Homo-oligomer: A and B are copies of this chain.
Amino acid sequence: MRHIGVLTGGGDSPGMNPCIRAVVRQAIGYGMAVTGIRRGYAGLVENDMQPLDARSVGGIIQQGGTILKSQRFPEFDRPEAQRQALRNLNQRGVEGLAVIGGNGTMKGALALERQGFPVVGIPATIDNDVYGTDIAAGVDTALNTILLAADRIRDTASSHQRAFLIEVMGRASGYLALYGGLAAGAELILIPEQELGLEEIAQDVERAYVRGKAFVIIIVAEGAKLKAQEVADYLEAQNIGYEVRISILGHIQRGGCASAFDRILATRLGTAAARLLHQGEHGKLVGLVGNQVRATDLEEATSRPKPLDMEVYALARAMAI
């Protein structure tokens, strides 16, 4: 292969720029040319592309977001859109594609592969919803951003004897809430994978109060069955002894300069993707399994759910005493 393309799709993640940099520089190291596709699949269909060289990706390793931009583009489901994309790629002489993003973006990658175009996927999303990698690029940075916020809220909670509900991202997965909650020393963690009832929650908060805790932090995943407001209203009505407050972290979780872990992970995955394409291997997703980079079939990666390690949930419970 002498010429590859690279794109970022779906919601942005702090791991995307170090990924792009790694794909580009490794590909150039192999003597391949690289074309950057802007705005994800939208740019692929609308022919919004530009050549990238080693200098184009200088100084981006510590920039949040994605220099290639990203855009949701549900129209890419349609075969006409995919055909247009292939036509644009062929006209420019692009022979393979590194696709960077989350679960939805990988589905688009699989569609192209099925159309006969060689693709390798790289998981970079804060949602950590991609099967085939223990962790996606960007998750570690998002966890650290959650701590930045939670540590600040703890100052305030502890000064006012409060129970604080902090809502973090994660519609389908409780990953950020679970690991963020463990790292923040949260009393309780509410995630889609493990339902708790209002009474159970109130009992836990009451036990914390009786044990003498100055404050209580509850981390709530966006996708948890009970919403933060609902829990807050119930707790307030129980008059446990803590004032109740809510904080919704929102989009700050996606931004920021990538952590050391994410820069290294993104570099390992990005170079692995360039290597596979160079060797003519494709239809794969590169991921971190244990501490090794492994390739998984895109078919498998996009069809299997990514389970949450419930031992970590038990661990968080054990620490909240």
Contacts and interface: CB of A to CB of B under 8 A. Distances in A.
Interface of A: 12, 14, 16, 21-22, 25-26, 28-29, 54-55, 58-59, 61-66, 69-71, 134, 140, 143-149, 151-156, 158-161, 164, 179-180, 182-185, 211-214, 245-248, 250-252, 254-257, 259-261, 263-264, 267-268, 271, 289-292, 315, 318-319, 321
A282 B64 CA distance: 41
Contacts of A254: 152, 155-156
A261 to B, nearest CB: 6
Nearest to A139: B260
Contacts of A145: 152
Contacts of A69: 159-161
Contacts of A26: 318-319
Nearest to A318: B29
B179 A260 contact: yes
Q: How many monomers of this protein are in the complex?
A: 4
Given A28-B321, A59-B154, A66-B159, 9 more contacts: A25-B321, A54-B211, A62-B154, A65-B159, A153-B251, A155-B254, A182-B263, A246-B250, A271-B318
**Dominant SS at the A interface?**
helix
A254 B151 CA distance: 11
A259 B144 contact: yes
With most chain B CB atoms within 10 A of its CB, the pick from A55, A251, A318 is A251
Contact of A255 (B151, B264, B319): B151
A164 B245 CA distance: 24
A65 B245 contact: no
A164 B251 contact: yes
13 contacts: A12-B155, A12-B156, A12-B160, A21-B185, A29-B318, A54-B211, A64-B155, A65-B155, A143-B260, A144-B260, A152-B254, A156-B255, A179-B264
A213 B58 contact: yes
B61 A156 contact: no
A131 to B, nearest CB: 15
A182 B267 contact: yes
